[in-house]
């Protein structure tokens, strides 16, 4: 049976993608920092759970090893662990800058690097959750947008580097999604992109032939002027 590893899989976009993957017949490993939500999500999806902080190199290595021990191989990696702290360049604290790059960029890089040997064996798919803020100037999200722009660059480079191995990668770049991270916007949840919309795009990627690759997908919120 194919298997998938989803970081940030206990809530929001990651959980929606994990549900879709379970529906598609994938064995799952879910990773998150908070044990209570992680265990609840894993129980609901009959998934293997690994508590991990993806900004820590040793946690990333342990996570991939635990997935391999549980499932034997890896077909899909979803790097959905992330956080955002609003702030302009002028008022963003250094610790908030470091935190966002540590989770959003460093974590994506580390988990992907550790997982590549397994992904090459299965000619697997990597989905990195970036953001529309990484594609257009977004005042008030300076560090977050910079981290997500770097995730996009990392993904597009990975596509080229792994062309001969058959590993494909996509940076998924949604606008505001109805998750707790977007609550600060004041936009009503029903007016935002839904987590399930992101999951449906990943489902479409799974159904492409191995001869098609999609390095970047931008998902705009209806009505946004971007």
Q: Residue 11: helix, strand or coil by DSSP?
A: coil
Burial track 164-173 (b if 16+ CB lie within 10 A, e otherwise): eeebbbbbbb
The answer to whether 108 and 36 have CB atoms below 8 angstroms apart is: no
Q: Is 144 a catalytic residue?
A: yes
Task: Please name the residue that has the structure tokens 């792994």.
Answer: 162
Sign of CA dihedral 75, 18, 11, 37: negative
Cα(72)–Cα(29) distance, integer angstroms: 12
The answer to whether 126 and 170 have CB atoms below 8 angstroms apart is: yes
Give the Cβ contact number of residue 157 at 10 Å: 12
- Active-site residue, selected from the candidate residues 29, 144, 150, 173: 144
Strands, E assignment, 86-142: 125-129
Q: Residue 83: helix, strand or coil by DSSP?
A: coil
Cα(194)–Cα(205) distance, integer angstroms: 18
Residues annotated catalytic, as ranges: 144
């Amino acid at each position: 049976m194919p298997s998938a590893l989803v970081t940030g899989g206990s809530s929001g976009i990651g959980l929606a993608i994990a549900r879709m993957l379970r529906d598609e017949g994938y064995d799952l490993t879910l990773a998150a920092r908070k044990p209570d939500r992680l265990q609840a999500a894993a129980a609901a999806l009959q998934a293997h759970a690994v508590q991990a902080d993806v900004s820590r190199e040793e946690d990333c290595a342990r996570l991939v090893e635990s997935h391999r021990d549980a499932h034997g191989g890896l077909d899909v990696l979803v790097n959905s662990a992330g956080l955002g702290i609003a702030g302009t360049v002028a008022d963003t604290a250094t610790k908030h800058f470091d935190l966002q790059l540590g989770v959003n960029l460093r974590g994506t890089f580390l988990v992907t690097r550790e997982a590549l040997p397994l992904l090459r064996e299965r000619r697997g798919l990597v989905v990195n959750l970036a953001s529309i803020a990484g594609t257009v100037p977004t005042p008030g999200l300076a560090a977050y947008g910079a981290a997500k722009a770097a995730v996009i660059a990392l993904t597009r480079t990975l596509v080229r580097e792994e062309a001969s191995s058959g590993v494909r990668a996509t940076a998924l770049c949604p606008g505001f999604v109805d998750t707790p991270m977007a609550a600060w916007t004041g936009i009503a949840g029903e007016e935002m992109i839904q987590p399930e919309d992101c999951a449906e795009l990943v489902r479409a990627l799974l159904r492409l032939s191995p001869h098609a690759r999609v390095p970047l997908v931008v998902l705009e919120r209806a009505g946004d002027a971007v």
